[in-house]
Chain A
Amino acid sequence: MNWDWTAVSDFMPHFWDGLLVTLQILVLGSVISFVLGLVWALLTRVPSRWVTWPVGVVTEFVRNTPLLVQLFFLFYVLPEWGVTASAMTTGVIGIGLHYSTYTMQVYRAGIEAVPTGQWEAATALNLPLRRTWTAVILPQAVRRVVPALGNYVISMLKDTPMLMAITVLEMLGEARLFSQETFRFTEPLTVIGVAFIVISYLASLALRALERRLAH
């Protein structure tokens, strides 16, 4: 095995394209998973089985089936029903949806960890339910779960190459394409491997800084 720096420099333009796509998937997927996970978590607390039961079934199903199968389903089956979207959009929604079923559990634990005394104080002050959630419970719950949410962002980063399977050219997709054209595997795969480590590391640094800030 020999290392060829020319292959590295030939790959770099493709790498930057792939990096941008990977980061887009990560950011948009995270936003979707954070928002949707919170929606799921709140819906499971609605005092009606007509809401909690379907939400429970859907989220259990999504959490317990492979992301890759879900991506294929969204990309190849939904168009048969007339629902079409670009590979990128489908992938971002797919990964965001998949991870929302995990962040949902994180939020739920965070909400349950807020002491009952906080609910009681809100009741004693006659705060409306909505205000109790937005001003008292959620700020405390979210603060508690930031580390756990951050860990899922890093997990999600490592799942972004799955989107290659539905033709999204993120880092691995670019590397694979490059390899097919040049028959060089070592350099592109090494470059993206290093990139994954660097992104993970930077993300965990950002996360720790955020935790410190929230720890008032």
Chain B
Amino acid sequence: MPTDTLPQPGKTPGKPAGELIRLERVTKRFGTNTVLDHLDFSVDAGKHVTLIGPSGSGKTTILRLLMTLLKPDEGTITVDGQQLFPASDKQVREIRKKIGMVFQQFNLFPNMTVLRNITEAPVTVLGMSRDEAGERARDLLDLVGLADKRDARPTQLSGGQQQRVAIARALAMRPQVLLLDEVTSALDPELVAGVLDVLRDIARSTDITMLCVTHEMGFARDISDQVLMFDSGRVIEAGSPEKIFNEPEQARTREFLSAVL
């Protein structure tokens, strides 16, 4: 795999590998339902953070706020020193360049080939030439093991293959942060491993920051630097995967883990 294929944010000269994402007192409500309740947390550059917790506890909402698919009702979100809300459209677009997201339902563009799915944004957003974008897309397809599928349509691929293309598509934008929103939840069980292997590979071989919402606890244990346990819109426990999975302090965490493990 060529070394320049993947984003390497830590290599920006002179930039301290410090805090990359910060949420301060972030509240998000849907109607009368408070999904996030004055949430505070931060993620350091290059770290892999996994969010676990029961459904409806606000994990996915955090990713969607960071991707600017939602706006918080209160609080501030900062990415790489730039505040996300309030921000001008131009600022928001600048911040979005730093973030990539992979969705539960893949969300590939069915009207484009696999290759075009990956090159579309680098060409139209980053102004890359079609040739260069195509070259990089081929490298990324190699990385996710789908080199032979570049001319296929998304509908001709299995769910697992689609999700691997979606990962390649997100990485093509060289984001500093990769948001993974339950990326294996919609897959048939036998296809999950292939996707997780690709993500493990990326976690190992790059210094991309990862924020991951998952119910795959084995995967979370493998790749995480930190695990955050959510309940009712708050982080109720945070720590290394060893601590959270082996000796959780909170009764709620133990209860949740015994239910899913």
The answer to whether residues A136 and B109 also contact, given A124-B100, A128-B124, A131-B124 and a CB cut-off of 8 A, is: yes
Which of A88-96, A99-107, A114-122, A162-170 is found at the contact surface with chain B?
A114-122
Complex contacts, A124 vs chain B, CB 8 Å = 67, 69, 96, 99-101, 103, 170
B236 CB–A CB distance under 8 Å: no
Q: Please report the C-alpha to C-alpha distance between residue A143 and residue B153 in the assembled complex, in whole angstroms.
A: 15
Q: CB-CB contacts of B98-126 with A at 8 A, as 1s and 0s?
A: 01110101011111100000001100110
CB contact list, A70-113 vs B, under 8 A: none
Say yes or no for A123: interface residue by CB 8 A criterion. yes
**Minimum CB distance partner of B93 in chain A:** A126
Docked-complex contact B125 and A125, CB < 8 angstroms: yes
Least distance between A30 CB and chain B CB atoms (Å) = 23
Q: In the bound complex, what is the Cα–Cα distance between A103 and B103 (angstroms)?
A: 33
- Asked if B125 and A126 sit within 8 Å, CB to CB, the answer is yes
CB distance from A215 to the nearest CB of B (A): 10
Chain B nearest Cβ from A171, distance in angstroms:
39
Closest to A142 in B: B111
A123 / chain B contacts, CB cutoff of 8 Å = 67-69, 96
User: Is A216 interfacial (CB-CB < 8 Å)?
Assistant: yes
- Does B97 sit at the interface, judged by CB under 8 A? yes
Residues of A in contact with B (beta carbons under 8 Å apart): 115, 117-118, 120-121, 123-128, 131, 135-136, 139-140, 143, 216
Would you list 26 pairs from A and B whose C-beta atoms are within 8 A, ordered by A residue?
Answer: A115-B105, A117-B103, A118-B109, A120-B67, A120-B69, A121-B103, A121-B108, A121-B109, A123-B68, A123-B96, A124-B67, A124-B99, A124-B103, A124-B170, A125-B120, A125-B121, A125-B170, A126-B93, A126-B96, A127-B121, A127-B125, A128-B125, A131-B124, A135-B112, A136-B111, A216-B153
Chain B residues in the interface with A (C-beta under 8 A): 67-69, 93, 96-97, 99-101, 103, 105, 107-112, 120-121, 124-125, 153, 155, 169-170, 173
